[in-house]
Structure 1
Amino acid sequence: MPRRTPRTALDRLRTPRRTPKFLKAASICVLIAGLLSPTAAATAQAATGTAEAAASNDYCGGQCSDILPPGENGNATLAQILLNQAFGTQPDHAEDQLGPYANLATGYSTLTDAKINNFFNDASFGVPSDQVASTEKPAGRGDVTIVRDKKTGVPHITGTTRYGTEFGAGYAAAEDRLWLMDVFRHVGRGQLTSFAGGAAANQGLEQEFWRNAPYTEADLQAQIDNAVAAAGDRGKQALADVNAYLAGVNAYIDASDSGRYFPGEYVLTGHKDSITNAGTIEHFKVTDLVALASVIGALFGSGGGGEVNNAISLLAAQSKYGVEEGTKVWESFRERNDPEAVLTVHNGESFPYATKPSSPQGEALPEAGSVTQEPLVYDRTGSAATSSATSASKTAATTALTSARRGMSNALVVSGKYTASGHPIAVFGPQTGYFAPQLLMLQEIQGPGISARGASFAGLSMYVELGRGQDYSWSATTSGQDIIDTYAVELCQDDYHYLYHGTCTAMDKIEQKNSWSPTTADSTPAGSYTMRVWRTKYGPVEYRATVGGKKVAYTTLRSSYLHEADSIIGFQMLNDPDYVKGPKDFQSAVQHINYTFNWFYADSQHTAYYNSGDNPVRASGVDAEFPVWAQAAYEWRDWDPATNTADYTLPSQHPNSVDQDYYISWNNKQAKDYTAAPWGEGSVHRGNLLEDRVRKLVAAGGVTRPALVKAMADAALADLRAEDVLPKLLKVVNSSTVTDSTAAAAVSKLQAWVTAGAKRTETSAGSKSYANADAIRILDAWWPLLVKAEFQPGLGSDLYTAFGNNLPIDESPSAAHGPTGSHAGSSFQYGWWSYVDKDIRAVLGESVQGPLAQKYCGGGSLSACRDILISTLKQAAGMTASQVYPGDDQCSAGDQWCADSIVQRTLGGIKHGRISWQNRPTFQQVVEYTSHR
């Protein structure tokens, strides 16, 4: 039987509802032709054993490894798609990295250096001659060769000219991810439904991202022109590289079209005819890459925003407690600069940014109840169709993609002073979510001025974006610092004019019209709608409200808006062996990346860290947490609305460090006084799971690669609530003898789980059942009950709800109600762990730095708090597994393991099996360099 598949973005690509007519006439021909993989059909050249041996420019000494599930091959012919749907067969290299990745969860405890590559790939440069699977000269060029290895099928691109090298990179990208690249250039342009059909998931994807970057074609081209002009010779080289890359992409499109081995999704969506080959796969152009970059930037590199929601919760707090006390309560929950927060730069150095002003200026808080979100979707008549947008935005793939933004992580880096070899060790990578095909792709690029191996986002792989150079490796986590501000523009004349420096100015109306017809892949009835954004000099309109009796539009302005292409220079530098020769060069390179990332570096001698992003210099007195008036006095310093440029904080003011004893990052607080970050950076954060383990290793000394991998893998299976909060909850419960038999049994199970390590682990490899299953079920059920019972009585329903909108209460692996959604892997990034921890410690009479403004559990009474916890614990213990894990399109009700399991969400026609839960990077490196140039 075929495996059950998720109903997600482009979901109907996977299972046509009826047998397509073309199969009746030509199924044999199509199946035979399609059984050739795209790579095999394109190259038609057998491996000859003449590929590169161990490269002379590789200084890792065989100590570099990486992994990227499910597999390198993200393209499939129509026949391969149909065979996958019918029999579960996989194209070559479509999921061969999924098994090793999954197996680490049960294999890490006995890990040795010799076993690391049982769970990772050898990331050495080159391909040993006996491991060559294929060799090709793309489009017959003599200046570039693409070699693929037998184990993973990763392309190793070697060029003798810069143009040929980048041509090969583009060709290899299209071989491995053409369909995905096409999907995302249409997502970025707000045109996915017109391209792939009107399924709700497709609507959700284009709506989610186009609202944030509603660019016209002129906007896209201007970003290229401006980025090239601003970067001098490097900008000119970048444009030349892009054009060569696109030539390679388009050469593959032409070759696969004429050879009829293009991705089968083009047939299923009606773009190609399987019999006549009629139809077109559009060539890529430069502006497509900017559209692609806007999606990636929105997902991973655009921290901040949320000022309107902040204002709503502040007003709710002030309504509940009065202005002075309400403000104190709000600030305590906001935890802007919590003294107990885990830090990446932990040496005590301060990096003030967006700190709370002593006397805020220019605040434009809405009148209570006046805020409405600006409609995005309009029907054929021009009427707002918000219900369509709402339903579309809740689809599984949309949730999974947006959750990827929330969960990009993590990094563990140890200085050579504390390792057994004396060389630094790093285990790091981005947690970009789980998709089929994966958003990232692996590659090696060697050519004039380029020498790197690693992962790149599909369609933006002219350079390696996360990976290794000749004698150094680098990686990133999402940092989330605030580069987005909300301005209140005062309306004049009507709802579509606003005051700009005293002049009534018309908003720009930006529209994207979409229409679709039923296809083999998507039987959604024919339809159409228009997305509309009103744009001001202060950015797109997101909300409307009244402030002090005046009608306003709240706009969202981010520093990377209209600058999606700028970061290409930083990546170019990272790939240049003549540029990066040490940690300071690395920091200089990533300073050119305008998105909000934490960057980590390791070579054989040094480690380093730098927090990137164009952090705007705000006007004196402006509080970055709240909306401000759109007036000259409150604009970013030296802001130019025509180009959206301003003064930015100096590189030295960004959190940075070289050779700290160790670094950890799991989207936690970067450094002391670096305050403009997401909610939830308090005393308990998932960064603590890494901090506690790495600090212990460093204290003991003699750290090894297996030891650091074990620390990561152990944290990846830990339940943050159980490890860092549950012991304190049990301390309250056990402050007196528990006499109720149901509660006592639950306490016993929970305590046994904590004693066993508080992890969500299988009883044995492949068992698909958890050890301590009852305890896990009880905590999953108890957490939302206890949080509500602990805080809602004191906060009141309105404020409790408002704070919940700022920070969801839970993000456990199976919590479909959390921001990540189900089956997404990434967990425990957002939740009320810190609030519960601080409140419970306060009730126990323990010391709390940065406490909440009040005690909430039982009104501060230990006995009353205990009664609340026992009452909710009894309720949770009485819930069945089917109630706690109600089932979905993947799992039967009550299947605990399945509820946690990771699903590769389909963005094309191929589906993969589920794997057990792990909370770890999607692409990951393990590195320890043995020498340096």
Structure 2
Amino acid sequence: MRSRTPHHGRLVGRSSTHNARTASADTTVSSRVTRTTRRTTTFVAAAVFALTAGLLSPLAAGTAVAAGDPDDYCDQQCADILPPGTNGNATLAEILAHKVFGTQPKHAEDQLATYDSLSSGYPSLTDAQLGNFFDDASFGVSKADTESVTSPRADVTITRDKKYGIPHIKGTTRYGTEFGAGYAAGQDRMWLIDLFRHIGRGELTSFAGGALANQGLEQEFWPQAPYTEDDLQKQVDYIRSHNGARGEQAMDDAQAYIDGLNSYREKSKKGRYFPGEYDLTGKIDPITNAGDIEPFKVTDMIALASVVGGLFGNGGGGEVDQALSLLSAQQKYGVEKGTQVWESFRQRDDPETVSTIHDGTAFPYAEKPENAAGLAMPDSGSVTKEPLLFDRTGSAAQAKPAKDPVEAPKSLKPLQGVFDDGVLPADLFSGDASKKGMSNALLVSGRKTASGHPVAVFGPQTGYFAPQLLMQQELQGPGISARGVSFAGVGMYIQLGRGQDYSWSATSAGQDITDTYAVELCNADGSAATKDSTGYRYHGTCTPMEKLERVNSWNPTLADSTAKGSYRMRVYRTKYGIVTHRATVGGKPVAYTSLRSTYRHEADSIVGFQMLNDPGYVKDAKSFQDAASHIAYAFNWFYADSRDIAYYNSGSNPVRAAHVDGTFPVKAEPAYEWKDFDPTDNTSALTPPEQHPQSVNQDYYVSWNNKQAKGYTAANPSLGSVHRADLLDDRVKALTDKGGVTRASLTRAMADAAVADLRGEDVLPTLLKVIRSRPVTDPQQAAAVQQLESWLDDGARRKETSKGSKAYGHSDAVRIMDAWWPRLVEAEFKPGLGDGLYSSLTALLTVDESPSAAHGPTGAHAGSSFQYGWWGYVSKDLRAVLGDKVEGPLGAKYCGAGDLSACRTTLLTTLAQAAAVPADQVYPGDDSCKAGDQWCSDAIIHRALGGITHAPFQWQNRPTYQQVVEFPRHR
């Protein structure tokens, strides 16, 4: 078994702009700035004049020189893209000019049009045309392509290219290299970094104002990682003390990065070119420059890492909600039948689902035990959610609380009522992070390519924000040689990108690394415990819970007209994790706690990233897999060089006690703890690297947050017979069967899947087979069927008729499908399941997640679509009714109670209802779109985290940052 051990100056020629664009997750800052400008016209004019006159210009930089081109084996066959643009900072003058005149800071959105254009340009794409849709990702910058160079220290230069202004950091010392990375992070993302360190500490509203968006963010993240300053420092110390020389180096690098960030902070404050959001939120006086920007600390990186990890690298959880839904099934059908039905919907190891490893190799983990032990199922009606907010005053008293996860589990359904201003939907930051990204990967072995070298098209989906959470950079220095992207604020290493002769990327994996324990409640004085007791039994001793609190208060600011208010957030912590619910089990009061293996280890993955950046460490597929095994968060990692493609699933997978079923709550007793569990630093035995799904040189790999391998139990119920990864798998398999795959053909496959409607491509044929089992005689029904068939024949895509038309081909068919799907699912399943069980199951897995959906894990305008829905259930049920082969069938036939004729009637009735729904009801409109505007309803809109915003663009279901690579040579 594996334990958690050591194995484990501003730019010349660059607009004075490069400094803001990250208003607090107050995100409402953009709308409030608009109101502010109306009240401060004179000040706006003065600020704009000051900008044009150079009064707010940055410090002068040194003479431009090329950054060099060390050991680049890609020969200009590596490319990437990250919208909207590199520049994520804007001065106050630039923000106000943007609001008044619509201007954009330089390099703020110059990658957006390039990214957008692929959705219409991909059908005829050739290798020679890839440069029209991606940027050359070669190392270095030629002198001719250099926009500017700055040297914040004598041992480092930051060279910016003319095209996109990406920082290429080259250091002669290790410290200088990392100092430069921090300095460049300040230039590009200082406000965003400041924003997220306060989110991680649960202090956003005190920092940036009491907007509902801000309240929701801190209420979402802080309870998951409610660290004290001592907790944060202990994590820094743990990395140093438990990872040998690499741990020491990692923390030295982190300190150098912070030093560089602080250097920029100080210079920008003195030179008055810091992000304008500091003025707008009252941190700095826009006239006198009085005020300050709080210095950054290494512990800030731990707080920030907890947010990033919470967004993208967690998995599991939600055991209380799964227990409640199982009880609902048992109440309807009886224990035996109810369990069978529930398990069929749970889809732990569906034989029909698409897997990244498709050669039949199994990697058993978290499988259902034959006889589960230690279950702690709640008594009926006894579960209550642990309250978070107390002492609400002022504007906080009017804020609506998050929806109770007992009713709608936050792991698979958005919080409601928190983000009423409509700017930042809660679901982009809700619950289990694995429930949201749409990162994908397509890799083809050299055996199947035209050149004989592997080809890869891959990238992470981190959402669409202004500015992006990721920032591009190149790092060249002692022991570091890489280019790609890093999360702002933890960018001492490239986290996704390329090395000298290899490239790597990741998708969220979401395997179960979080468990729920039921701790028996008690009182220290020996009196009878109640559900409100704050003592619990640990190894037989009544132990007090640790009470952790954050008191946030705010006053109106220039950017935030919210009335002053305050509240207290409170959580209770035990040795088994954070209290989330209370209930009774067998009549005894208990608290349910959430324990994840990465808790208290938010930045342990830093060692793995250090290895990935080290050209002396990663030299081939095997050393890549070893580096990835040091990453604690749950990710699928992919690798390509000139010879091999490879895959590895990372994550601190706890070794559970024998016969424990991690799908449900278990008793907090020694017999059911993780193996070798020590609550001091939350350590335990972890499954060894060889037990994690992994592979080298399979014919191809695809990943779109799908199942990893046979036996590797899904932590959520979405991995069924129809999954969006099928859109990739079908296309890539066809390419590899034919052979001669190129970068362009693999990119076309990705881009075509990115505009496909999963329901239309993979479920509609079965729906039509049921409907066409007899002639359709009703004229209205026949017309709707014909429209859907024509759409299907044309590929069932949601795509503009021509670039810029802002109208779909087959728009009526798309509208009908959007209106039909939720109606047909309810009519197909609710009569058989009953109201209670249907509601319980739809709470666990949302019915639909089309691009226009304002519900589901991604909300509206977020790009990511079709990750969660009932398409697999519908497919299995209809095939069963038709008498077709179904592996892993549902527990019963639901459509028409199994009668084909009745099922057909159900589908036609709901289809007719859907066809009659007008567009303005299917697409009701929002702050960005008029009712009935189908294209706009689907369109991607960057969520403003600062004062700069961008126009909507065509929906496409693809990674935010994306690489296209083919290495022709190797060291």
Shared fold by TM > 0.5?
yes
Closer/same/farther in 2, CA of residues 810 and 396 from structure 1, 3 Å limit: farther
Is 1:375–1:384's contact at 8 Å kept on the other side of the alignment? no
Structure 2 counterpart of 1:203: 215
| Whole-angstrom distance in 2 between the partners of 1:450 and 1:679 | 40
Structure 1 counterpart of 2:354: 342
Is 2:30–2:944's contact at 8 Å kept on the other side of the alignment? no
SS at match of 1:553: strand
Q: Which amino acid aligns with 2:148?
A: S
Alpha-carbon deviation of 1:751?
A: 0.2
| Whole-angstrom distance in 2 between the partners of 1:679 and 1:656 | 23
Structure 1 counterpart of 2:174: 162
Structure 2 counterpart of 1:44: 60
Structure 1 counterpart of 2:863: 825
Alpha-carbon deviation of 1:377?
A: 1.1
1:11 and 2:28 aligned: yes
Matches within 5 A, 1:430-441: 430-441=460-471
| Whole-angstrom distance in 2 between the partners of 1:36 and 1:710 | 47
Q: Which amino acid aligns with 1:847?
A: K
| Whole-angstrom distance in 2 between the partners of 1:163 and 1:486 | 42
Matches within 5 A, 1:764-779: 764-779=802-817
Cα-to-partner distance string for 1:835-894 (whole Å, 9 max, x where unaligned): 000000000000000000100000000000000000000000000000100000110000
Is 1:717–1:919's contact at 8 Å kept on the other side of the alignment? yes
Is 1:198–1:527's contact at 8 Å kept on the other side of the alignment? yes
Is 1:14–1:910's contact at 8 Å kept on the other side of the alignment? no
The correspondence for 1:118, drawn from 132, 147, 152, is 132
The correspondence for 2:289, drawn from 277, 280, 291, is 277
Structure 1 counterpart of 2:320: 308
SS at match of 1:130: coil
Matches within 5 A, 1:464-475: 464-475=494-505
Closer/same/farther in 2, CA of residues 312 and 400 from structure 1, 3 Å limit: closer
| Whole-angstrom distance in 1 between the partners of 2:535 and 2:563 | 37
Structure 1 counterpart of 2:410: none
1:928 and 2:969 aligned: no
Closer/same/farther in 2, CA of residues 271 and 110 from structure 1, 3 Å limit: same
| Whole-angstrom distance in 2 between the partners of 1:217 and 1:291 | 9
Is 1:372–1:543's contact at 8 Å kept on the other side of the alignment? yes
The correspondence for 2:426, drawn from 399, 402, 408, is 399
SS at match of 2:84: coil
| Whole-angstrom distance in 1 between the partners of 2:561 and 2:689 | 52
Is 2:758–2:866's contact at 8 Å kept on the other side of the alignment? yes
Structure 2 counterpart of 1:614: 652
| Whole-angstrom distance in 2 between the partners of 1:27 and 1:508 | 50
| Whole-angstrom distance in 2 between the partners of 1:112 and 1:6 | 40
| Whole-angstrom distance in 1 between the partners of 2:389 and 2:597 | 26
Structure 1 counterpart of 2:449: 419
Closer/same/farther in 2, CA of residues 221 and 879 from structure 1, 3 Å limit: same
1:506 and 2:544 aligned: yes
Cα-to-partner distance string for 1:63-94 (whole Å, 9 max, x where unaligned): 00000001000000011111111222100000
SS at match of 2:80: strand
The correspondence for 1:564, drawn from 602, 606, 609, is 602
Cα-to-partner distance string for 1:599-639 (whole Å, 9 max, x where unaligned): 00000001110000000000001001100000010000000
| Whole-angstrom distance in 2 between the partners of 1:918 and 1:26 | 40
Structure 2 counterpart of 1:631: 669
| Whole-angstrom distance in 2 between the partners of 1:425 and 1:59 | 14
After the TM superposition, which of the residue ranges 384-393 and 816-825 deviates more from structure 2?
A: 384-393
Is 1:415–1:425's contact at 8 Å kept on the other side of the alignment? yes
4+ runs of 1 displaced by more than 6 Å? 5-8, 381-386
1:263 and 2:275 aligned: yes
Matches within 5 A, 1:134-145: 134-138=148-152, 141-145=153-157
Closer/same/farther in 2, CA of residues 35 and 414 from structure 1, 3 Å limit: farther
The correspondence for 1:550, drawn from 579, 588, 593, is 588
Matches within 5 A, 1:522-921: 522-921=560-959
Q: Which amino acid aligns with 1:62?
A: Q
| Whole-angstrom distance in 2 between the partners of 1:146 and 1:597 | 31
Alpha-carbon deviation of 1:47?
A: 6.2
The correspondence for 2:233, drawn from 218, 221, 224, is 221
After the TM superposition, which of the residue ranges 486-495 and 209-218 deviates more from structure 2?
A: 486-495
Alpha-carbon deviation of 1:401?
A: 2.6
Alpha-carbon deviation of 1:30?
A: 2.8
SS at match of 1:237: helix
Cα-to-partner distance string for 1:79-121 (whole Å, 9 max, x where unaligned): 1111111222100000001100000000001111111011111
In structure 2, list runs of 5 or more residues that go unmatched. Answer: 1-21, 404-416, 524-528
| Whole-angstrom distance in 1 between the partners of 2:401 and 2:658 | 42
SS at match of 2:594: strand
In structure 1, list runs of 5 or more residues that go unmatched. Answer: none
1:491 and 2:521 aligned: yes
1:388 and 2:401 aligned: yes
Alpha-carbon deviation of 1:564?
A: 0.4
Is 1:720–1:828's contact at 8 Å kept on the other side of the alignment? yes
Q: Which amino acid aligns with 1:321?
A: Y
Number of residue pairs matched by the alignment: 924
TM-score by length of 2: 0.93
After the TM superposition, which of the residue ranges 668-677 and 388-397 deviates more from structure 2?
A: 388-397
| Whole-angstrom distance in 2 between the partners of 1:303 and 1:20 | 44
Alpha-carbon deviation of 1:744?
A: 0.5
Q: Which amino acid aligns with 2:274?
A: F
| Whole-angstrom distance in 2 between the partners of 1:870 and 1:627 | 42
Q: Which amino acid aligns with 2:543?
A: T
Structure 1 counterpart of 2:12: none
Is 1:208–1:393's contact at 8 Å kept on the other side of the alignment? no
Alpha-carbon deviation of 1:555?
A: 0.2
Q: Which amino acid aligns with 2:387?
A: P
After the TM superposition, which of the residue ranges 747-756 and 497-506 deviates more from structure 2?
A: 497-506
Q: Which amino acid aligns with 2:442?
A: L
| Whole-angstrom distance in 2 between the partners of 1:749 and 1:25 | 57
Is 2:183–2:261's contact at 8 Å kept on the other side of the alignment? yes
Alpha-carbon deviation of 1:392?
A: 2.0
Cα-to-partner distance string for 1:301-358 (whole Å, 9 max, x where unaligned): 1100011111011000000100000000000001101100100011111100010101
TM-score by length of 1: 0.97
SS at match of 1:352: strand
Query: Percent same amino acid at aligned positions?
Result: 64
Alpha-carbon deviation of 1:29?
A: 4.8
